Every structure is written in C-alpha cells, then in structure tokens.
Structure 1
Amino acid sequence: MKEKYVVFDFETTGFSAQKNEIIQIGAVKYDENDVEIARFNQLVKNQRSYVSSEITKLTGIRPADLLNQPTIEEILPKFLAFIKDHLLVAHNAPFDVSFLYQAIIDCALSGVEAFRVYDTLTESKRLLTMSSYALENFKSVLGMEELRSHDALNDCLITAKLYQYLQKIEYSEELAFAKEADQLDLFGEMTDEITVELRRELHLPITKALVYYHQDEQRRWHRLEVVGIHIERTYSTGASLTIRLYDGEKVAIHSDFLKEMQKANFVNQMEED
C-alpha cells in the first residue's frame, strides 16, 4: 500500500557522524500519489568541525555561507516535526540516518519517534543493473541532468524520482509473484528475540548483555540494557533496528551505532568528540 513519505539528504563536513556534522538539510514531502506537498531546505552553522576546500568543491558550500545560519539545535526540532509520521527515503540511507541519530543525541532530544527508512541505494542494486549506483549516475536515466549533484535539495528531487521508479518496478514484481501464490508472506513472524544468530548477523557481542546509552537534558549519560531487537530493514551496510529496552521503551537505531555502544570506551569517546 502506498503511503506518505519524505525524501531527505544531508550535506556534511565529512564521513563520521561522531566527528563531523550536518551543514545542509534538504527534504521534500510527498503524498500517497507522489505529489509534492512541501519542501525543507536549510543551511546549518558548523560548530565543531571545519568546512574543508574539498567539501566546498563538492557541495558549493563555503565556510562564510554558514556564519549567520542557525545551529542544529535550532533546526533539528523543526526538521523532526517536518518528517513526523512519514516514511523516510534516502540514497545510501545508513549514512544520513547515522548523522540524524547523532544530531538527536547531541541535541539531547527525547521522545523522538522510531524512523522507518527506505534506502534507494540498496533497492536499486536489487532491482536494477547499473555500472555505478552513485546517485548522480541516475540523473540521465531519470531525465534530470540539469540538477547539480551534492546539493541537499537537488539530491532529494533526484532520489524522489528514483524512489518512484523503483516502486513501479517493485509493484510489477509483486503482482507477478502474487499470481503464483494464494497467500503472500514476505516477512514471516515478527520477533525481537536476541538470538546468537542475530548477534552474529549484526556483529554484536555474543555473550555479554547488550546496552544502550542516552543523554538526559543535563547531558548526563544513562546506560540501559537492551532486551529485544527487531530488524526493520537491511542495507548493504548494516540495518535499521527497533530495540526494546529493559524499561519497556522502544528506540530506533542503526545497527552500526548500536555496535559502537557496546565498546567499553563509548561514553568517553563521545565526550571527547
């Protein structure tokens, strides 16, 4: 069934969500019929990292462009309100989602809803044959050569068109499959049991208890035991998870970030960064 969705993209100062930061947020909201209904486009002032000449060459964003822009603490609540209750769509989603989670932690925000994410990179590799799956290589296929790549809003428009294209292919495949089966069960029984097999699949410690850290409003770290894990979607790099904590709370998190939290020096590293 088709649903409302938001295509989003971040431009950042580098590749590490812990050491680098978001400098541009782009997002476009669509209804169930793929009709655009709203846009979100905002530069973000950098606070803990530099905009290198390489990043400026790639994105067109100069350090001077960010001096008078709002900080992530000012922008993030507005962005979270914009995407609330929508499926999120991104190309190479684990990258953008890791920066989103890190920003939520840095801003000490609580009560954020679990995200549902569709990765057009993973799905295009599954459904299409291309020499390269970089987003800019889809522009000619989608008739969008005029848009400059590595601009957050432009990349959203390209990703949206790619998502709509992939959905048409996937719908056609589902129809063909449904004709061959009386009942379609793609996912099987839902479970959040933490098995040895699941730990191995997510590269988590096999024997010790799994933990989740979060900061309160005073930026003090709290450690909670993870008692359940459900894989929402797998990617070429990791997976989107919903974890159940000892107190019953459920949290959305990327598997790579959960893996990082199992390290003995996680809190110290976060405070240093």
Structure 2
Amino acid sequence: MTTILVTGGTGTLGRLVTQRLRADGQEVRVLSRRTRPYAVDLRTGGAGLDAALAGVETVVHCASTPRGGDEQAARNLIAAARRAGVGHLVYISIVGVDRVPLGYYRSKLAVERLVEESGLGWTVLRATQFHDLVVTLLQGLAKPPVLVVPAGVPDQPVEVAEVAERLAGLALGAPAGRVPDMAGPEVRTFDSLARAYLRATGRRRPVVRVPLAGKTYRAFRAGGHLAPELAVGKVTFEEYLERRFGKGPVQSPA
C-alpha cells in the first residue's frame, strides 16, 4: 500500500481522486486549507506541510486557483517534498497553457516547469475544461435576460470523474513525465453548449454571439485550448447535464 497525499483534496477533482485511490486500498491524506489533520495553506507552507508529507511516497497536486499564488504554492510543496524524500509528484494542468496567453494559463505553465525542474520523479497530465466549469460559467452568463457568449469560440469539455480516474492511475504508476493530454469527446461551439444548458435547466434566453478583441480571444478562437486528436473522454455535455439537472435526456444539436 502506498501513502499518497492529494493537495486540494476537497475540491472538484481532488475529492474524486481521493475516493478513487481509497477505493483501490491506498492510504490517502487530504491536504487543504481547512481540512484537518492536514490543514495547510500551500502559499505559506509551514511546519504543517512537513508533517503532512512525512512518510508520503506520492503527491497528486490538484490544488489551484485563478486568484493567484499557484507558483509560490508549488515552490513550497516541491521544497517540502524534497525534504520528505517523495518519489513521485503528479500534477494536473490544462490543455493549451503554452498556447493561450491567459494569466491563469501562464501560471499553470510556470508550475509545470517547476515540477519538471524539481529533481523529483514527476508526471504531468493536461486536461480540457471540466463540464462543471462550463456550467459554472454559463450560470453566470445566463443571469441577464440575454446570454452573451464570445463569437467563434469552440470548447471540448471533459468529465471530471474520467480525469480523476486517469490521474489516480498515473499516481499508482511510475513517474512518466508529460503524458498525452486528455480531452472531452466533442469539440463544440460555445453557443451550442449555452443552448444545451438552457434546455437542460428549462430557461429561456436568446443566445447572442459577440466578437471580442485581444490575443487571448484569438487564441481561444483558434482552438489553442483543444485537443481533438485526443478526444478520449466518453461522457458528453448533454449526458452530464441530464445527470446533474435530471430533466430527462438533453438532445445534442443536429
């Protein structure tokens, strides 16, 4: 049995990774800012981090926030992992962090480089956006009477449980470096995802496509965040919506 530490282990992905590893019989420690006995803020580190890593063989690093601090958190985690003699650091990143000049993506790419240069055995998996994230974005966009989406932007959402399964499998294996990306089963226009969301939730809104400006928008329009050749996910956005909102089958647009 391997002792594994999952950072961000109470989050959308980390919680499922933890469940999957425990179901496999592994000893899993959950590290988050508020969950005892391993309540640690990675951005500040401290003695609690060393205690959390004592005897740990593998770390799955899921903790992340677009509000900033990921790079410092990674530095603290890597330094403590070295002190503890951790043999394998697994990191979840995002498809397109090297192609889309979004601030959060740049931070994720910087963390990838820290992991690669850590001196530890490492594995990095990039995934496309989770279905959950797309719905969170659409919930905010649907608040006004008109749902406005960026024109010409595609997306390829993936089921978070499938990513968790893949990440857990990587954690149980040997360090593998950068592994093939993981993407959802369909490349979709964002307006088609918006309409599917409205149908699933029984809401009525006109969907309006609005062109934007800037390098980040152009990169998204060009599909820098997609991996159509690696569409290994099985669960479609409509299947996710049906499970989450329970209003019967949601039909995919023809």
Q: TM-score, normalised by structure 2?
A: 0.28
Q: TM-score, normalised by structure 1?
A: 0.26
